[in-house]
Chains A and B, each alone.
Chain A
Amino acid sequence: MLNSKIPAGPLDKKWTDYKGHCKLVNPANKRNLEVIIVGTGLAGASAAAALGELGYKVKVFCFQDSPRRAHSIAAQGGINAAKNYQNDGDSVFRLFYDTIKGGDYRAREGNVHRLAEVSANIIDQCVAQGVPFAREYGGLLSNRSFGGTQVQRTFYAAGQTGQQLLIGAYQALERQVALGNVTQYTRHEMLEIVKIDGKTRGIIARDLVTGKLERHFGHAVLLCSGGYGNVFYLSTNAMGSNVTAAWKAHKKGAHFGNPCFTQIHPTCIPVSGDHQSKLTLMSESLRNDGRIWVPKEKGDNRRASDIPENERDYYLERRYPAFGNLVPRDVASRAAKERCDAGYGVGTSKQAVYLDFAAAIERYGRTQANIIGHHDATLEEVIKLGKEVVKEKYGNLFDMYEKITGENPYEVPMRIYPAVHYTMGGLWVDYELMTSVPGLYALGEANFSDHGANRLGASALMQGLADGYFVIPYTIGNYLADEIRTKSIPTDHPAFVEAEKEVSDRINTLMSIQGTESVESFHKRLGKIMWEKCGMARNEQGLKEAIVEIQQLKKEFWSNVKVPGKIEEFNPELDKANRVADFIELGELMCLDALQRKESCGGHFREESQTEEGEALRDDANFSYVAAWEYNGDSKWNLHKEELNFEIAKPSQRSYK
């Protein structure tokens, strides 16, 4: 039975009450307790720093050459916090409510409320670390709005918020490394969990430089290994982002929660050809100022500048007057797909819509002209001034767009299209962030817990840091307090030997196939199946076909993949083969999960379940649960349902109209 361990009592007292009663570990005992952390993004780096500060003996692993490169670094727009610095009606409750509603009522109230409670502490902590957030002239912190909310609660550092937050956490982590509390293993990949007597006791990792396998003991293991968007091959994730750590844990008994919940981000640079290796996001913050439109005429091939105002369809403003261009991501993405599928798309591929800054440039230009007392400025002068303002706000994003597309977005509207960006699903965890395997935790995007079926913008950074800085330091003590008598287990224990053998057998098998098709081409084929049949819109027939196709692909992979090079050397192709093998298995589970969830909710859109206006139609009577999948052997899973109870935020049809 799944026990989510949500503390009893009123929603807003649960976390306080938990902290007041959880077990503590005294400082002398902490020094003897070893914790392994896999991944060094916001969740992993913050957890490693915080646990190191507390005095635990920490080992931290990342596959990149430095912890600072984890993909949190690429988050652009911002981080939410219920500070109410703008006096615009924000509160912990409102952030909680927006997140539950934005997630389309598929997240736990208890977890989400805790997230909203600690959000303010995160901003304080980051500022103390020296994170250079954007400020107003008075020296105080600046905020902006983001999709799915009507208050300004997003803190940011230009379009590089993730970078600045990660560097803050990385510096805190490096400080602990210098103090000897944390040992850092770069260019290492976790390939297996080691369990002894039902508890997690360590990992098998591969040194990616030498190719050698290593055994590491830990009283507890924290997986902070990010999301699995790369199952689609093309996504905004980094090339190395992978599901392997989470998947190994899944196969060792950790349930996988809501695997089909994928976020397709509305504003990404469209695909330009078959050579494409990844997609690039244009921050959601651009929707604050950019207006999204397509021509009113089907197949209109005129240049954007030649299409007069009254022949443009600002379809988000038309369909959702209350939120306009700031509707949540799932809604914006589907609306773009709807227009393109109906034949209104723009650009050569016709799989794109415009994101236009002309109005914002003029508006900002006028304000700026007034500020400098130039009240009779010509339109040309106004536009010049406006471009400077827009450059300050979004300059790095505009530059990036121009480098990739060769077009200047100050002059012509950006072309954008939705792309896979984030995975709300992940390892199932309880309130303490522990998976269904004792001693094994999952933090950040790697777990399923806080975003339901759709994540609001600027909430991923918040969750990663909440889990690492402010949740795990308490909840891990509640487990480790009972482990103080467990001495460090030598890694020649049979469980380590056996786990290492499993890994090395698998690698040997991969290397011995020597077929004809590259790892990359299998990954591309998997991505195509997933995007077409388990992407922005899903239906029963497509999902059933996808499962068969993926099973077939898996057979082919294990009989025809070609991995060059040797095992005991730096071999990126082998690293990739390990990851793609796991993505293939995950893909099947995602389709299975999407198939059983016959409702539409958040980013999961089942074509069979929609309103007359084409909006996602939830089915609370039958699907108000978390789907937690237990691995039960090759292509076999058992479904466990964790019922969701909404005591405070009563589910209603989401409306942004």
Chain B
Amino acid sequence: MNLTLKVWRQKNSSDKGHFETYQVKDISSEMSFLEMFDVLNEQLIKEGKEPIAFDHDCREGICGMCSMYINGRPHGPWHANTTCQLHMRAYKDGDTIVVEPWRANAFPVIKDLVVDRNAFDRIVQAGGFISVNTGNAVDANALPIEKHKADESFAAAACIGCGACVAACKNSSAMLFMSAKVSHLALLPQGDPERKNRVLNMVAQMDKENFGSCTFTQACEAVCPKEIKVTNISRLNGEYLNAAFTEQ
């Protein structure tokens, strides 16, 4: 199939940026979306033009590196999917596809479609862990955990930290990302001793990073490649209130 692509080009974080239009030909429906970009980049290199910078690594939907905003939706049209797993059979000959980077104050553009997501690391640094030094652990089966709680914790821990939730949110809020981490740890008995400080510190860090507030439109859940549920946000709010009112 032949396609028209309108791609955001931006030299660096201080450049204003603009859309450029490209034509790609003979794209196979079996290609992944990023392989289509590989084809385009090879074409640009041959023409002596600069290839388009985009983030990607594992190309199997788990590392969270790929991050394209495709026709107004993070990771494109498929449900519960990452850009790298989007395949070209989602499109038909003659389609026009608009591709932008994640847009959020907290995610400055580095180049073209590449953004800086280190803010997520800093939120985790603020409390997204259990303080247990190596070697301190007791036998793994000494602490039975109800299966449904372990499963629920796992479902939250499945977050890949891609930032699609932020990109989809009209307020650029990081609440789904953060609530996934808070839930993962709050649902487990191991996470209990630090649960109050964890949620207070992580929320404080999120605010410091210039993410917006949550108005619960649930756009985040709709685009999350790992189907992280907004019920985690409710849990986060509960955890936060409880911690804020009972803080020593």
Contact between chains at B46 and A65 (CB < 8 Å): no
Whether A378 sits at the interface, judged by CB under 8 Å, is no
Which one of B64, B114, B131 contacts A68 once the chains associate, using CB atoms below 8 Å? B64
Chain A positions within 8 Å of B190 at CB level: 127-130
Least Cβ distance of A394 to chain B in Å? 15
Contact flags (1/0) for B204-245 with A, using CB distance below 8 Å? Answer: 000000000000000000000000000000000000000000
Contact between chains at A130 and B185 (CB < 8 Å): yes
Chain B positions within 8 Å of A74 at CB level: 58, 60, 62-63
Contact between chains at B34 and A124 (CB < 8 Å): no
Contact between chains at A158 and B154 (CB < 8 Å): yes
Contact between chains at B121 and A64 (CB < 8 Å): no
Chain B positions within 8 Å of A277 at CB level: 32, 34-35, 38, 59
Whether A136 sits at the interface, judged by CB under 8 Å, is yes
Which one of B30, B59, B89 contacts A239 once the chains associate, using CB atoms below 8 Å? B59
Contact between chains at A124 and B137 (CB < 8 Å): yes
Contact flags (1/0) for B5-32 with A, using CB distance below 8 Å? Answer: 0000001100000000000000010111
Chain A positions within 8 Å of B126 at CB level: 178
Contact between chains at B125 and A132 (CB < 8 Å): no
Assuming the contacts A64-B57, A158-B154, A238-B63, asked whether A570 and B12 have C-beta atoms less than 8 A apart, the reply is yes
Chain A positions within 8 Å of B129 at CB level: 129, 171-172, 174-175
Contact flags (1/0) for A253-290 with B, using CB distance below 8 Å? Answer: 00000000000000000001101111011000000000
* A278 to B59 alpha-carbon distance, docked (Å): 7
Contact between chains at A404 and B158 (CB < 8 Å): no
Chain A positions within 8 Å of B49 at CB level: 564
Which one of B45, B51, B147, B157 contacts A136 once the chains associate, using CB atoms below 8 Å? B147
Instruction: Tell which of B91-99, B138-146, B168-176 binds the partner.
Output: B138-146
Contact flags (1/0) for A168-188 with B, using CB distance below 8 Å? Answer: 001110110110000010100
Least Cβ distance of A189 to chain B in Å? 13
CB closest residue in chain A, given B128: A171
Chain B positions within 8 Å of A171 at CB level: 124, 128-130
- For the complex, count residues of B whose C-beta is within 8 A of A: 80
B31-55: which residues lie under 8 A (CB-CB) from chain A? 31-32, 34-35, 38-39, 42, 44-46, 48-51, 53, 55
A86-130: which residues lie under 8 A (CB-CB) from chain B? 121, 123-130
Q: Which has the most chain B C-beta neighbours within 10 Å: A65, A171, A275?
A: A65
Which one of A136, A276, A570 contacts B53 once the chains associate, using CB atoms below 8 Å? A570
Q: Which has the most chain A C-beta neighbours within 10 Å: B55, B60, B154?
A: B60
A551-594: which residues lie under 8 A (CB-CB) from chain B? 562, 564-565, 569-570, 572-573
Assuming the contacts A74-B58, A175-B131, A562-B45, asked whether A273 and B140 have C-beta atoms less than 8 A apart, the reply is no
* A240 to B188 alpha-carbon distance, docked (Å): 34
* A141 to B147 alpha-carbon distance, docked (Å): 9
Contact between chains at B140 and A124 (CB < 8 Å): yes
A42-97: which residues lie under 8 A (CB-CB) from chain B? 46, 49-50, 53, 64-71, 73-74, 83, 85
Whether A300 sits at the interface, judged by CB under 8 Å, is no
Chain B positions within 8 Å of A66 at CB level: 64, 117-118, 120-121, 161
Whether A410 sits at the interface, judged by CB under 8 Å, is no
Contact between chains at B85 and A275 (CB < 8 Å): no
Contact between chains at A73 and B63 (CB < 8 Å): yes
Contact between chains at B154 and A157 (CB < 8 Å): yes
Assuming the contacts A69-B64, A73-B58, A570-B114, asked whether A273 and B134 have C-beta atoms less than 8 A apart, the reply is no
Contact between chains at A130 and B35 (CB < 8 Å): no
Contact between chains at B158 and A127 (CB < 8 Å): no
Contact between chains at B144 and A275 (CB < 8 Å): no
Whether B110 sits at the interface, judged by CB under 8 Å, is yes
Chain B positions within 8 Å of A125 at CB level: 132, 134-135, 137
CB closest residue in chain A, given B60: A280
Which one of A70, A127, A178 contacts B137 once the chains associate, using CB atoms below 8 Å? A127
Chain A positions within 8 Å of B44 at CB level: 564
* A43 to B189 alpha-carbon distance, docked (Å): 27
Q: Which has the most chain B C-beta neighbours within 10 Å: A121, A137, A184, A570?
A: A570
Whether A164 sits at the interface, judged by CB under 8 Å, is yes
Contact between chains at A573 and B140 (CB < 8 Å): no
Contact between chains at B147 and A132 (CB < 8 Å): no
Contact between chains at A404 and B50 (CB < 8 Å): no
Can you name 15 A-B residue pairings with CB atoms under 8 Å? A53-B134, A71-B58, A126-B140, A127-B143, A127-B190, A130-B185, A132-B188, A157-B157, A160-B62, A177-B121, A239-B58, A275-B31, A403-B87, A470-B134, A569-B12
**19 other A-B residue contacts (CB within 8 Å) besides A128-B136, A399-B80, A564-B51:** A46-B134, A53-B133, A121-B137, A123-B140, A127-B143, A128-B190, A134-B150, A139-B144, A141-B140, A158-B154, A172-B134, A236-B60, A238-B63, A239-B58, A276-B35, A278-B59, A469-B134, A473-B134, A573-B51
Question: Residues of A with Cβ closer than 8 Å to B?
Answer: 46, 49-50, 53, 64-71, 73-74, 83, 85, 121, 123-130, 132-141, 157-158, 160, 163-164, 167, 170-172, 174-175, 177-178, 184, 186, 209, 236, 238-240, 272-273, 275-278, 280-281, 399-400, 403-404, 406, 469-470, 473, 518, 520-521, 562, 564-565, 569-570, 572-573
